[in-house]
């Protein structure tokens, strides 16, 4: 089995744990020195991640991986997700693997789906920009 295949399997297990609500599965692929960053989390550690982020699994209905690109120890993923209360959104993440486990995650929030703008158009209200 290639390193790319192994890395992709780890990442698929990581994302699959959320809709399955399988904490043991995600813990098995998250490194002890894990850190997580998103627009609202600044490099939080493993314990804080499981305390603050893992409860989102309770409302995760699906995560459908659209793109998985492995480049050495980095895996770039884009996915469409759906919550149990019907919210749909697309995000991208950059995961760093070390010794077969996820050691770092950077989340880049995307947009709701379907997109608020019509095809070829844009949303007039840009919020706080």
In terms of Cα–Cα distance, which of 68, 88, 66 is closest to 76?
68
pLDDT in tens, 50-62: 999 999 999 999 9
- For position 127, what pLDDT does the model report? 58
The separation between CA 126 and the C-alpha centre of its own chain, rounded to angstroms, equals 25
pLDDT in tens, 84-119: 999 999 999 999 999 999 999 999 999 899 988 999
Rounded to the nearest 5 percent, the helix, strand and coil shares of the chain are: 30, 45, 25
- For position 1, what pLDDT does the model report? 45
CA distance 32 to 13: 17
- The CB density around residue 7, as the number of other CB atoms within 10 Å, is 21
List of E strands, 1-129: 30-38, 41-45, 60-71, 74-83, 88-98, 101-112
Domain ranges of the chain: 3-112
CATH architecture of 3-112: Roll (3.10)
Predicted structure pTM score: 0.90
In terms of Cα–Cα distance, which of 119, 115, 104 is closest to 29?
104
Pairing verdict, β 60-71 and 41-45: unpaired
């Amino acid at each position: 089995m290639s390193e790319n295949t192994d890395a992709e399997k780890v990442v698929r297990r990581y994302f699959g744990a959320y809709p399955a609500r399988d904490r043991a599965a995600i813990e098995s692929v998250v490194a002890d020195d894990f850190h997580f960053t998103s627009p609202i989390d600044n490099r939080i550690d493993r314990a804080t991640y499981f305390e603050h982020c893992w409860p989102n699994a309770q409302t995760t209905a699906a995560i459908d991986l659209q793109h998985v690109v492995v480049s050495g120890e980095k895996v770039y993923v884009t996915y469409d997700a759906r919550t149990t209360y019907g919210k749909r959104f697309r995000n991208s993440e950059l995961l760093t693997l070390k010794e077969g486990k996820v050691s770092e995650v950077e989340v880049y929030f995307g947009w709701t789906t379907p997109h608020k703008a019509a095809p070829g158009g844009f949303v007039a209200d840009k919020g706080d920009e």
